[in-house]
Amino acid sequence: MKHFLIKCILNGLALFIVVNIIPGMEIDKFSTLAAAAIVIAVLNAVIKPILIICTLPINILTLGLFTLVINALLMSLASGIIKNFYIKDFMSAFWGALLFSVVSIILSLIFGGGRPQVRIDVNGRHIR
């Protein structure tokens, strides 16, 4: 639960940065930003893995670049779910999702909101 909360906070910060950079994306107020961050985190945790599996052949053919289209679709879906979160068109969603991914990765590296490390004990030594 702690990891999900940290991810939502980092998503909110990343979304704030993206909305201020990408034209065609708007959020009215802070509560809308918080709701959008939570919805994006839930969509990425629940729906994105299903979409990745369903589109695996095209993802393999495009060397994973189709994932950018999936991210844009999920960003558009989030804007459809959240009132007062507007995305003008698909290209705004595409560039917004791309920038959101980059900013989210950078923030996760800086603030430690990344995935938990798995440690394996082999003969008394910890391996990461």
Whole-number Cα distances in Å, 45 to 38, 40, 67, 101, 125: 11, 8, 14, 14, 32
Residue 27 to residue 15: CA distance in whole angstroms: 9
Give the Cβ contact number of residue 54 at 10 Å.
11
Write out the chain's pLDDT in tens, 128 residues.
777 888 888 889 999 999 999 999 999 899 999 999 999 989 998 999 999 999 999 999 999 999 999 999 999 999 999 999 999 999 999 999 999 999 998 988 888 755 555 566 666 665 55
By the 8 A CB rule, do 67 and 52 touch?
A: yes
By the 8 A CB rule, do 116 and 3 touch?
A: yes
- Here the tokens at position 31 are 């509560």
